[in-house]
Structure 1
Amino acid sequence: MDGKAAGAPPDFHFYPLDLYDPEDRLHPFPEGATRTGREVYAEMAEEASDPGSVALGKAPRALEEEVDELVHLYALGGAGEWGSELADGSAPCTEVPEHLPLGAQRDWQRGPEAGERGCVGWGATGPGLRETYRCAHGRAIEEYECYVIPEEEDEDEAALVFCVTCRAPVRALEVSDEHREHEVTALDKALESAKDEVHKNMFKLEKQILEMENFANHLEEVFITVEENFGRQEQNFESHYNEILETLAQKYEEKIQALGEKKKAKLEALYGQLVSCGENLDTCKELMETIEEMCHEEKVDFIKDAVAMADRLGKFLNTDTDVEITTQPDFEDQTLDFSDVEQLMCSLHALPAPSAPVINPQAPNSATGSSVRVCWSLYSDDTVESYQLSYRPVRDSAPGKDQAVFTMTVKETYCSVTNLVPNTQYEFWVTAQNRAGSSPTSERAVYMTAPSPPIIKSKEIQSCEEAALICWESGNLNPVDSYTVELTQVETPEASGVTESVVGIPACESLVQLQRRQSYTMSVRAHNMGGPSARSDPVTVHTTGSRFPLNQHTCHPWLTVADDGFTVVRSERKTPLKEPLPGNTRFSRCVAVMGNLIPVRGRHYWEVEVDEQANYTVGVAFDDVPKEEDLGANRLSWCMRHRFASSRHEYEFLHNKTTPDIRITVSPRKIGILLDYENSKLSFFNVDISQHLYTFSCQLHGFVHPCFSLEKPGRLRIRNGIAMPTHVAFY
């Protein structure tokens, strides 16, 4: 065999590779050029035939030791498994594959000198995926995973890309042929995508493992509780059952003996009556016979005997004869006295009252917003029929004071208590009960329910091409430990699942780094010692361009922000001005409003739709810009100002009350603004004709806010979250 898989390109070689090979193992591939088996054998023969060689007689032995070591290393079998001929009688192979390990090449080439070893077969069992050593009898000795390693080529020819359609790496030269219509990407990008997919799967697996571990712990608690209670009850029932059997057997013997004695007395009394009745019958018969004899005698004798017989009959008749049975044949119903048996039966439950249970501390993630799972233990051998769990909310850090107590009866050593208030501490204690009474109360433990889901302020979300600032309300009266932002990249409408999480957020806002020109679905969870809350209602964030809302807390009273949050209107009717409070952020003299810009370094672009005849000012300013001054009248603001008077348009680019002498011939109806933090520049553009108007070189020591002002009634509409035009990207 030639050592190459069928169908593989001619410039690809297959090498056996043990991925789990330790570093200290002998490597069969020496560094440098690879030689064929024939070249190695020729070199060996030349060294062996050289009479002046110092290592004469030692080189073959060293080579044999090296070959034996490699044979043992690759589990190629002992000397007894090799033969000089194949099983079918054919001659051994003489062609040595170049990709065989060095020891295998030598054994291949040694021929008759190898003794019983013979030929080693090296063949591909798949299309370049696995190769197999085979002995002379044709059976596989060991298999090795193989990798396709291309030979060195020119940089242009060896350039590889990844075909997404075929899901395989290909040469850049093949893209124009077979993969012309396929989606192709760089190998580095494909590798990053594969890593991201692995991370997502790892996150899902970790979550499933955690759920399975919690469920396994729960089952283990139930199993241990049932096993302990069953063992104790089995011992008690067996002991008392034996006592009841002994008592019943004794009762049986006593009752049988009493019935026998009563039977004997009845029989003796009846026998006496029977004997007396027989004697009376005999007397009656004798008198009857005597009277009959007298009737046949003569009258004189009859009269004499009749007088004597009359006296005798009178005496017999005057004798009372008892013809009533003194002993009844039936027996009275025997009512057994089972009082002692009842005592034994009651002794089954006459157990000592159980000892006090031990309530466990709250386990992580054991609560939801309305329920909590409470666990306790009973370390003694007491028999328990039920547990009484009591709890009450903890208010004002004063446990157990003037709060309603709730109780519930359970059979197991755990209980899920429901209908609770989110993010609230509850005090729990438990007692064990059986027929003997209740145990002492356990120590009290404080459990906490999970928080309520936060509420995202969708109208205050700020974003740019690389990040987004998410703000939310806690939704809980009590403070929480931290928050987690979960986001999912919306690639398709069917996309689902969390792809990334930002954890351990202490405040109610977070700056999340994102990818450009993507859409994300975001939600927030709150965490405390009880566990995470449910997800908040999701919001969608786009990274097409910079997106910011208008801050109504800075809005002048004469301005109104529309419901869409991006339109500023100044009406004809003026509302009376109120004296601003000290430290108020609202504009007082300048009729303006600020927008919130996400604090991210980079380039931000937005547009403003204006009225050609309106007097407006647009630009940027620091947060501490004086609210009683006009925009552009100090060092903390840069802006473009427009005034319309007598059919003339006047434009000024103001900073610290100074403006350059610039003429604008075409009045813009849509103004583009580019804020470049990196280069400290602020540029203005006429979007309609793609014209650059002016660029400020600013000293931006911090983040700035977009500003908008209307000196007369009119409206301004801000368009943000849009992609940067091509003519703007060069500035």
Structure 2
Amino acid sequence: MDGEAAGTPELRPARAPQDFHFYPMDLYDPEDRLHLFPEEHLQTGREVQAEMSSEPKGAAPRDLEEDVEELVHLYALGDGSEWDAELVDGSSPHLEVWEQRPRMAGAHRDWRLGAEAEAGDRGCAGWGAPAPSRDLREAYRYSHGRASEEYECYVIPEEEDEDEAALVFCVTCKAPVRALEVSDEHREHEVTPLSKALESAKDEIHKNMFKLEKQIIEMENFANHLEEVFITVEENFGRQEQNFESHYNEILETLAQKYEEKIQALGEKKKAKLETLYGQLVSCGENLDTCKELMENIEEMCHEEKVDFIKDAVAMADRLGKFLNTETDVEISAQPDFEDQTLDFSDVEQLMGSINTIPAPSAPVINPQTPNSATGSSVRVCWSLYSDDTVESYQLSYRPMQDSLPGKDPEEFTMTVKETYCSVTNLMPNTQYEFWVTAQNRTGPSPASECVVYMTAPSPPIIKSKEIQSCEEAALICWESGNLNPVDSYTVELTQAETPEPSGVTESVVGIPTCESLVQLHPRQSYTVYVRALNVGGPSARSEPVTIYTTGSSFHLNEHTCHPWLTISEDGLTVVRSERKTLAKEPLPSNTRFTRCVAVMGNLIPIRGRHYWEVEVDERVDYTVGVAFEDVPKQDDLGANCLSWCMRHRFASSRHKYEFLHNKMTPDIRITVSPRKIGILLDYENSKLSFFNVDISQHLYTFSCQFYCFVHPCFSLEKPGCLKIHNGIAMPKHVAFY
């Protein structure tokens, strides 16, 4: 059956028309058209019909009932009560078609082959057959009016894809609808293609599955933690039980030993008392006997003659005197009651006290500082303790490790906590602190732990907005640390102002060792820049934000190179030479500051590419603009050496003179229209320096330069006046295509 099913095309359930009715008789064709079952079953059907027609009328109910049950079992017709009733009456019209019903339960395995043999339009698998495969799970069932499972039929679909294509998903109703119904009931509802809704539902299910998996992992971790706690508690109580049993056994042994010792001592005292009393009893008996004898002797003497009495009386008197002079102990040397015996139970009490006495805890162990566990003013300290120790509280002490004054130790602070962790606040940023901890219970404190150094996070850096340089492709960001102690590194965070979430970080540069960073950016964008400082304690808070633009090259004038006669404006883009400055004496030579040439340099970003800026000039002012290497001699004029390229203007007697100087050489060029705004294009890629008249979009001159390193813009005023620099602007079209 599996081999045959594998070779047949897959059939899908289809939607049947509502007015379609199917009767059991329609399922069968004449015998000459359909031969799906063995002949023996056909013969069986004929024999049954013949036997039924030949049976006596009186025996019909019993025989027909047995035959119906046999046929039901043979053809898998289910409950045959209806057929039984018809056959009993003898009026069933279905007897005529028994020959045309060569069906059996085993024949259902060939239902696909039968469907292919019948031109594909019948789509029926058999009378009363169950769904032969998963493809027909949702097939429609039709019967001839009796609503019985015996007459079910599966309609095989042929155009399911077209039906699915006609469906769309209504997001508002959360149900699939036909595309034709969208214009009526779902006109104002949000609809989407069924495939897209399916993908969305799958994505939502995947997200929920991911959340469930995450929750399962968390619950498993929690269960593992509970199991560890359970095992620890069980072990601790087991040890405590062993300790209690050992102590009680020791106490019982001590009490038994005490009992034996006391019993033995009491027996010895009893024996000694009894011996003493017996001796006294014997002595008393002897004295009584002596008294009786003397009394008898005296009575006998009284009956004697006077001469004999006198003789015997003298002897008796001596004897009686001796007896009377003998001291007789009439005091009982042993009392009948034993005196109170004070038992020494000090050792037993000590053992009993040891059971209820908790030993002092051992020294805790402070954990090393974990990354990102501190802020600029707080730090989280954690420690651990042996599981056998009982602790009521902890004493956490700390002190800063800063250099203190001679003879004065740093101040110490102490906190009492219940847990094995503590967040210490009100600390100095980027500072190392020494921590140690002791554990306490009612017995006493533990020894102090070893000292461990924790460090707070740094203070936020301070961005130098005036020293930021940028171009269309990058920006050089400079800042101050803001901390006395050095930090490990810095992180630059950038956020595009055009993004929907301004608070999100678009780009970041981490692990910067110095206080400046060259960051690659996208052209014609505005960025908000933040800087963080990092150390072992964690990152600092964000610095104050600074906005930069990548619409063009942007730079500021360097005050450290400025001639003393020049003044730079607060925005760093205007240089002025006044009248009073010219009277001051010439400054001393310097390697960084211009001394003879009254000039100043600009800090242009060191990026290979194209840089453009403009200079607004006065036609009656003598000025020089151009570029120069950083190590250009500060005593020479611009253009007087091979390290500078410039355009110089001289005004005398209403005449303008323009020179393009490099190494004291200038070409023979005449400029008829005096520029009021000069555009300068520095092209590293093509090794060119070009000058333009911005007002009339005129190219003035181009140097072919060999730049072995980066150059800087230079500006000079030989007479009082001012130059105003425009940078951070987009390159004009006549310059961009030059």
The interval holding the TM-score normalised by the smaller chain is 0.5 to 0.7
Deviations 1:34-81 (A, max 9, x none): xxxxxxxxxxxxxxxxxxxxxxxxxxxxxxxxxxxxxxxxxxxxxx99
Cα separation, partners in 2 of 1:372 and 1:137, compared to 1, 3 Å: farther
RMSD of aligned Cα (Å) = 4.8
Give me the whole-angstrom Cα distance separating, in 1, the residues matched to 2:240 and 2:628.
84
Do the aligned partners of 1:394 and 1:400 also contact (CA within 8 Å) in 2? no
Counterpart for residue 276 of structure 1: none
Displaced runs of 4 or more, over 2 A: 1-4, 80-87, 89-95, 116-124, 136-140, 216-240, 342-350, 395-401, 492-496, 575-583
Secondary structure of 2:111 counterpart: coil
Give me the whole-angstrom Cα distance separating, in 2, the residues matched to 1:555 and 1:705.
13
Q: CA offset at residue 495 of structure 1?
A: 2.7
Cα separation, partners in 2 of 1:606 and 1:346, compared to 1, 3 Å: farther
Cα separation, partners in 2 of 1:634 and 1:536, compared to 1, 3 Å: same
Cα separation, partners in 2 of 1:463 and 1:679, compared to 1, 3 Å: same
Residue identity opposite 1:576 in structure 2: A
Q: 1:676 aligns with which of 664, 674, 683?
A: 683
Do the aligned partners of 1:229 and 1:383 also contact (CA within 8 Å) in 2? no
Give me the whole-angstrom Cα distance separating, in 1, the residues matched to 2:659 and 2:136.
84
Counterpart for residue 653 of structure 1: 660
Asked whether 1:696 is paired with 2:703, we answer yes
Secondary structure of 1:607 counterpart: strand
Do the aligned partners of 1:546 and 1:605 also contact (CA within 8 Å) in 2? yes
Give me the whole-angstrom Cα distance separating, in 1, the residues matched to 2:418 and 2:677.
74
Deviations 1:547-601 (A, max 9, x none): 0111011111111111121011111111634643654x11101111100010100
Counterpart for residue 546 of structure 1: 553
Structure 1 residues 442-457: aligned runs within 5 Å: 442-457=449-464
Counterpart for residue 555 of structure 1: 562
Q: 2:110 aligns with which of 73, 84, 104?
A: 84
Cα separation, partners in 2 of 1:559 and 1:356, compared to 1, 3 Å: same
Counterpart for residue 432 of structure 1: 439
Deviations 1:329-374 (A, max 9, x none): xxxxxxxxxxxxx999998873111100011111111111111111
Secondary structure of 1:432 counterpart: strand
Do the aligned partners of 2:625 and 2:715 also contact (CA within 8 Å) in 1? yes
Counterpart for residue 651 of structure 2: 644
Do the aligned partners of 2:624 and 2:649 also contact (CA within 8 Å) in 1? yes
Asked whether 1:705 is paired with 2:712, we answer yes
Deviations 1:84-112 (A, max 9, x none): 3269x9668979xxxxxxxxxxxxxxx9x
Counterpart for residue 317 of structure 2: none
Q: CA offset at residue 395 of structure 1?
A: 2.4
Q: CA offset at residue 399 of structure 1?
A: 14
Give me the whole-angstrom Cα distance separating, in 1, the residues matched to 2:700 and 2:363.
83
Cα separation, partners in 2 of 1:478 and 1:643, compared to 1, 3 Å: same
Q: Which runs of 5+ in 1 are unaligned?
A: 5-79, 96-110, 125-135, 141-147, 149-204, 244-341
Secondary structure of 1:727 counterpart: helix
Do the aligned partners of 1:631 and 1:638 also contact (CA within 8 Å) in 2? yes
Asked whether 1:522 is paired with 2:529, we answer yes
Give me the whole-angstrom Cα distance separating, in 2, the residues matched to 1:372 and 1:405.
16
Give me the whole-angstrom Cα distance separating, in 1, the residues matched to 2:230 and 2:621.
82
Q: 1:592 aligns with which of 592, 595, 599?
A: 599
Asked whether 1:499 is paired with 2:506, we answer yes
Counterpart for residue 626 of structure 2: 619
Q: CA offset at residue 236 of structure 1?
A: 7.6
Q: 2:416 aligns with which of 401, 409, 413?
A: 409
Structure 1 residues 282-301: aligned runs within 5 Å: none
Cα separation, partners in 2 of 1:723 and 1:402, compared to 1, 3 Å: same
Secondary structure of 1:421 counterpart: coil
Q: CA offset at residue 724 of structure 1?
A: 0.4
Which protein has the bigger helix share?
A: 2
Secondary structure of 2:734 counterpart: helix
Residue identity opposite 2:629 in structure 1: F
Give me the whole-angstrom Cα distance separating, in 2, the residues matched to 1:693 and 1:122.
85
Structure 1 residues 100-249: aligned runs within 5 Å: none
Residue identity opposite 2:713 in structure 1: P
Q: CA offset at residue 496 of structure 1?
A: 2.5
Q: Give TM-score, length-normalised by structure 1.
A: 0.56
Structure 1 residues 627-638: aligned runs within 5 Å: 627-638=634-645
Cα separation, partners in 2 of 1:503 and 1:568, compared to 1, 3 Å: same
Residue identity opposite 1:692 in structure 2: H
Q: 2:588 aligns with which of 580, 586, 603?
A: 580
Asked whether 1:461 is paired with 2:468, we answer yes
Do the aligned partners of 2:10 and 2:135 also contact (CA within 8 Å) in 1? no
Give me the whole-angstrom Cα distance separating, in 1, the residues matched to 2:401 and 2:231.
35
Cα separation, partners in 2 of 1:612 and 1:375, compared to 1, 3 Å: same
Give me the whole-angstrom Cα distance separating, in 2, the residues matched to 1:556 and 1:492.
44
Structure 1 residues 254-333: aligned runs within 5 Å: none
Cα separation, partners in 2 of 1:226 and 1:698, compared to 1, 3 Å: farther
Give me the whole-angstrom Cα distance separating, in 1, the residues matched to 2:133 and 2:226.
64
Do the aligned partners of 1:605 and 1:724 also contact (CA within 8 Å) in 2? yes
Deviations 1:173-224 (A, max 9, x none): xxxxxxxxxxxxxxxxxxxxxxxxxxxxxxxx9xxx9xx99xx999999998
Q: CA offset at residue 237 of structure 1?
A: 12
Cα separation, partners in 2 of 1:122 and 1:458, compared to 1, 3 Å: farther
Secondary structure of 1:427 counterpart: strand
Do the aligned partners of 2:493 and 2:508 also contact (CA within 8 Å) in 1? yes
Q: CA offset at residue 379 of structure 1?
A: 1.8
Counterpart for residue 279 of structure 2: none
Which protein has the bigger strand share?
A: 1
Cα separation, partners in 2 of 1:545 and 1:138, compared to 1, 3 Å: farther
Cα separation, partners in 2 of 1:627 and 1:344, compared to 1, 3 Å: same
Cα separation, partners in 2 of 1:546 and 1:380, compared to 1, 3 Å: same
Q: CA offset at residue 490 of structure 1?
A: 1.7
Cα separation, partners in 2 of 1:408 and 1:119, compared to 1, 3 Å: closer
Counterpart for residue 325 of structure 2: none
Give me the whole-angstrom Cα distance separating, in 2, the residues matched to 1:620 and 1:679.
16
Secondary structure of 1:553 counterpart: helix
Cα separation, partners in 2 of 1:610 and 1:529, compared to 1, 3 Å: same
Deviations 1:482-527 (A, max 9, x none): 1111111221575330122111111100000001111111111111
Do the aligned partners of 2:11 and 2:156 also contact (CA within 8 Å) in 1? no
- Shifted more, 484-493 versus 345-354: the winner is 345-354
Give me the whole-angstrom Cα distance separating, in 1, the residues matched to 2:504 and 2:558.
33
Counterpart for residue 493 of structure 2: 486
Do the aligned partners of 1:86 and 1:137 also contact (CA within 8 Å) in 2? no
Cα separation, partners in 2 of 1:366 and 1:139, compared to 1, 3 Å: farther
* Larger Rg, first or second structure (1 or 2): 2
Do the aligned partners of 2:136 and 2:156 also contact (CA within 8 Å) in 1? no
Residue identity opposite 1:526 in structure 2: A
Q: Give TM-score, length-normalised by structure 2.
A: 0.56
Give me the whole-angstrom Cα distance separating, in 2, the residues matched to 1:347 and 1:449.
45
Q: Percent identity?
A: 72
Q: 2:539 aligns with which of 532, 539, 545?
A: 532
Secondary structure of 1:550 counterpart: coil
Secondary structure of 2:466 counterpart: helix
Secondary structure of 1:438 counterpart: coil
Deviations 1:605-657 (A, max 9, x none): 00000011111100000000011111000000000001111001100000001
Counterpart for residue 338 of structure 2: none
Secondary structure of 2:735 counterpart: helix
Give me the whole-angstrom Cα distance separating, in 1, the residues matched to 2:600 and 2:714.
6
